[in-house]
Amino acid sequence: MSVAERLTALGLTLPAVPTPVANYVPARQYGNMLFASGQTPTVDGVLTMRGKLGAEISVEQGQEGARLSVLNCLAAVAAHLDGDLDRVEAVLKLTGYVASAPGFVDQPAVINGASVLLEDVLGEAGRHARAAIGLAELPGGAPVEVDLVLAVR
Amino acid sequence: MSVAERLTALGLTLPAVPTPVANYVPARQYGNMLFASGQTPTVDGVLTMRGKLGAEISVEQGQEGARLSVLNCLAAVAAHLDGDLDRVEAVLKLTGYVASAPGFVDQPAVINGASVLLEDVLGEAGRHARAAIGLAELPGGAPVEVDLVLAVR
Amino acid sequence: MSVAERLTALGLTLPAVPTPVANYVPARQYGNMLFASGQTPTVDGVLTMRGKLGAEISVEQGQEGARLSVLNCLAAVAAHLDGDLDRVEAVLKLTGYVASAPGFVDQPAVINGASVLLEDVLGEAGRHARAAIGLAELPGGAPVEVDLVLAVR
């Protein structure tokens, strides 16, 4: 199955590429290495949720936020690759940033939302190394942010 | 001296490879680049310490946690390299995450525990670029987390 | 224009290479990839500002801190490249760490100080992917820390 077919089977659509809120680019390639900028759970540039895990945001909501964040990363990657996500050879590293109220320590469960989606969409190529950490605050009050390092052809 | 001989001389044993607590892999390679997932001070998957620097955890305990974290990273790298850490050409980057109570600003001293161990075990190949930062929370209540980018042959 | 000419036109001077405060190196290269260690707003090794965004430090001060941090990164890169920043082919990734008091969510505005400087100094080569996040604490009480991944020739 192509990535496009997998997206369809999962009922997922790549969003419009998020416009950077500052002076940087959504994706930067050198040789086969591609770095995707940090993304938050935005739709059309607007956050769909605000708050912290362990306070306003449940683990389930955080997982949905992680999915939306990584989908925004994939949209940026697809735009960089002329729409062809089959050119992704491997996701090498996902860093998952979770805005965490004091005492919230289940960052892995939240970021798993992003990890599962990557493998669902990209198959074997979506398997990645990962770090999940708990932040004091994230841009705009986002509960989650995700960035990626990938290998592409 | 081989890395195995250095480990023995230091009285260190590589632990069992930590099982990811979610849907990702402990190490991911592309070409010569290897990304090792974030690790915390676990033994057999159980945290040996919980709390924050500047509160329950002293700098000395944090350094021990950093050593244990990076040893878990090396165990994951070794498992990926069929047990042969002499295939590590260079540690390129270590990111050290320190769970920090308000006012604790000596993240570098804590993460130095990991940096010193890397050079003790890997010699010249263990010299690395680094960032050390203070987090609100870390998975499971860990005081320290470490991840690595390496070059391998 | 060479990078040296751009620096002069901008009235900028590369500082002395900051000495690592622990057991690591300011820059580490493998093949064409170069990792620059996290830097804070220091001059001659001393922080020029301490505190958090949303508390003691204004966004404008934070932007100045981000500029100073990335200038320290560039100084480390230049020292590694025998002083020749024209050997930088591309900045691939900038991670911007912002010490954030509760409720401060404008990390992108702060880190934009670093992003703008990179493009001013390096031109097209300075365009980068980015993540900006809000930390509980940073080394020494720094309000900002920046690290870089670059491609060099």
pLDDT tens column, C47-101: 999 999 999 999 999 999 999 999 999 999 999 999 999 999 999 999 999 999 9
A107–B36 C-beta distance less than 8 A: no
C26–B131 C-beta distance less than 8 A: no
Distance from CA of A108 to the nearest CA of C (A): 18
Chain A interface includes B84 (CB < 8 A): no
Q: Please, is B44 exposed, middle or buried when counting C-beta atoms within 10 Å of its C-beta (0-12, 13-18, 19+)?
A: exposed
Mutate: best of C93, C127, C147, partner A, most A CBs <10 A: C93
Q: Count A/C contacts: CB-CB distance under 8 Å.
A: 93
- Between A14 and A98, the more confident residue is A98
Instruction: Work out the pLDDT band at C22, boundaries 50, 70, 90.
Output: confident
pLDDT (0 to 100) of residue A133: 98
Instruction: Work out the pLDDT band at C18, boundaries 50, 70, 90.
Output: confident
pLDDT (0 to 100) of residue C46: 94
Instruction: Work out the pLDDT band at C21, boundaries 50, 70, 90.
Output: confident
Distance from CA of A79 to the nearest CA of B (A): 22
Q: What is the mean pLDDT of residues C4-11?
A: 92
Chain C interface includes B32 (CB < 8 A): yes
Quote the CA–CA distance of B34 and B50 in Å, as a whole number. 29
CATH 2.60.40.1180 is held by the domain C3-152:
no
* A3-13+25-152: CATH number: 3.30.1330.40
Rg (CA), chain C: 14
pLDDT (0 to 100) of residue A22: 73
C147–B131 C-beta distance less than 8 A: yes
Q: What is the mean pLDDT of residues B59-63?
A: 98
- Which percentage of chain A shows pLDDT scores above 90? 90
pLDDT (0 to 100) of residue A64: 98
- Among B22, B28, B95, the residue with its CB nearest the CB of A129 is B28
> Does residue A150 contact residue A88 with C-beta atoms inside 8 Å?
yes
Nearest alpha carbon to residue B136 among A105, C43, C11, C145: A105
C99-136 residue pLDDT tens: 999 999 999 999 999 999 999 999 999 999 999 999 99
Mutate: best of C17, C24, C135, C147, partner B, most B CBs <10 A: C24
Q: What is the mean pLDDT of residues B5-32?
A: 89
Distance from CA of A104 to the nearest CA of C (A): 14
Mutate: best of B17, B19, B21, B24, partner A, most A CBs <10 A: B24
Distance from CA of C139 to the nearest CA of B (A): 5
pLDDT (0 to 100) of residue A1: 87
**Residue-wise DSSP of chain B:** --HHHHHHHTT--PPPPPPPSSSS-SEEEETTEEEEEEE-SEETTEES--S-BTTTB-HHHHHHHHHHHHHHHHHHHHHHTTT-GGGEEEEEEEEEEEEB-TT---HHHHHHHHHHHHHHHHGGGG--EEEEEEESB-GGG-SEEEEEEEEE-
Chain C interface includes B111 (CB < 8 A): yes
Residues of chain A with Cβ-Cβ distance to C33 below 8 Å are 30, 33
Distance from CA of C146 to the nearest CA of B (A): 8
A134–B135 C-beta distance less than 8 A: yes
Measured CA to CA in angstroms, residue B12 lies from B9, B82, B150 at distances of 8, 18, 21
B29-58 residue pLDDT tens: 999 999 999 999 999 889 999 999 999 999
- Among C37, C99, C141, the residue with its CB nearest the CB of B129 is C37
**Residue-wise DSSP of A11-58:** T--PPPPPPPSSSS-SEEEETTEEEEEEE-SEETTEES--S-BTTTB-
Q: Does the pLDDT value for residue A151 go beyond 80?
A: yes
Q: What is the mean pLDDT of residues B67-80?
A: 96
Average pLDDT, chain A: 95
The interface pTM score, or ipTM, of the predicted complex is 0.96
Distance from CA of C83 to the nearest CA of A (A): 22
A13-68 residue pLDDT tens: 888 887 777 789 999 999 999 999 999 999 988 999 999 999 999 999 999 999 99
pLDDT (0 to 100) of residue B150: 98
- Among chain B residues, the shortest Cα distance to C77 is held by B129
User: Which residue type is seen at C36?
Assistant: A
